[in-house]
Structure formats: C-alpha cells, structure tokens
Amino acid sequence: SKTGATLHYLANILANLSQVEAAREELMLESKEGESDLERLLAFTAYPGSSVRRGGVVATVRNCCLATSHHSWLLREPLDLLTRLTLPLAGPSPEDVTDEEMEGLHLERQYLGEEKQVESDPEIRKMLLEALTQLAATRAGRERLREKNIYIVLRQLHREEQDREVKLATENLVDILIKKEE
C-alpha cells in the first residue's frame, strides 16, 4: 500500500472473527460475481512473504471447515480447497509414489520438484491438518479426501515430520481415512 502497511495481521483478525458462525457464513457468501471472500483468501495459504498472513488465512479456512453444513460447498471442484490445504504440506515428489498414485493427485501436486518445500511453520501445518480433519467429519468429506489421494501427501509428511504434535495430527487424519465406512 502507499502507506507502507503490509496488512499481514488482518488475516488474524479474520481468523478471530471466523470463530463466530455468522462471520463464517459471511466469508462463504458468494458475491454477484460468484466468488466468496473465502475464495479470495485461499491464494494466501502459500503466501511466501509472511507466515503471519499464511497462519491467519489457514486459521480462517480451518474455522470455516467447522461448518459441516457447508462441506459440500467447500469441497466443490471450482473452489479446489483440498489442493490449497495439501499443497503447503507437500514437499518434493517422493520416489516411491507410483505413476498411478501420482495421476490420482491434483495437477498442482503432481511431480513437485526439489525446490518445493513443506510449510516451515509447524503450527500452520497443524492447522492445515485440522482443517482436513474437519472436512473428514462427514462421510462425503472422507470419500472426497480419499478420491483426491490425500493419503499420499499425508504419508510423505508423516515420514519427514519432526514436530510431535503435527505428526500426531497426521496420524489421526490417516486413521480416519483408512477406516472402512461400514
């Protein structure tokens, strides 16, 4: 901006507001152009300029995932929320991923080069996993996560994760995804 303000902490204000159902509803409300404020925020889940901004945006998205009644909207294709939540958790493509598994991933998560780094902040990684876990609260959400091969990203994250809490959050989500629905 012209004043030199970066507005990184604005994302934390949105995260705090999104703890309230009415604020979440407002964030997910589509404008006349067909785009919601939440959709506009998604690009900042991988914003390299500020971990404060990334963390605030991820917390806002996580809070929106609490609204199970909106999961079908959150998981729809044009929004592509699963890619936005898993891309920061993905590092370079592991060598043990089969071509079939790789093809099942969204295009943005396929064949990531050595320069691709996992989100550096363990708290943000944990919030990303919490958002995914919230989306797995419904059967349709679990099926969607399985369909999008989220397990492959989780498997690699778990192998390389050093933070105990993030590792546990990864294990909890994997446990949910590998259980049979019956």
Q: For the segment 8-61, what is each residue's pLDDT rounded down to a tens digit?
A: 889 999 999 999 999 999 999 998 888 999 999 999 998 998 999 999 999 999
CB 124 within 8 A of CB 62: no
174: pLDDT strictly greater than 90: yes
Residues 147 and 172: their CA atoms lie apart, in Å, by 18
Q: What is the pLDDT of residue 117?
A: 82
Q: What is the pLDDT of residue 91?
A: 76
- Mean pLDDT, residues 151-163: 91
In the chain, which ranges are E strands?
Answer: none
Residue listed under structure tokens 């970066």 = 6
Tokens of 182: 């019956």
Residues 18 and 23: their CA atoms lie apart, in Å, by 5
Give residue 181's Cα distance to chain centre: 23
Closest C-alpha to 82, from 33, 137, 147, 126: 147
Q: What is the pLDDT of residue 63?
A: 98
Among the residue ranges 25-29, 145-149, 170-174, the one predicted with the least confidence is 145-149
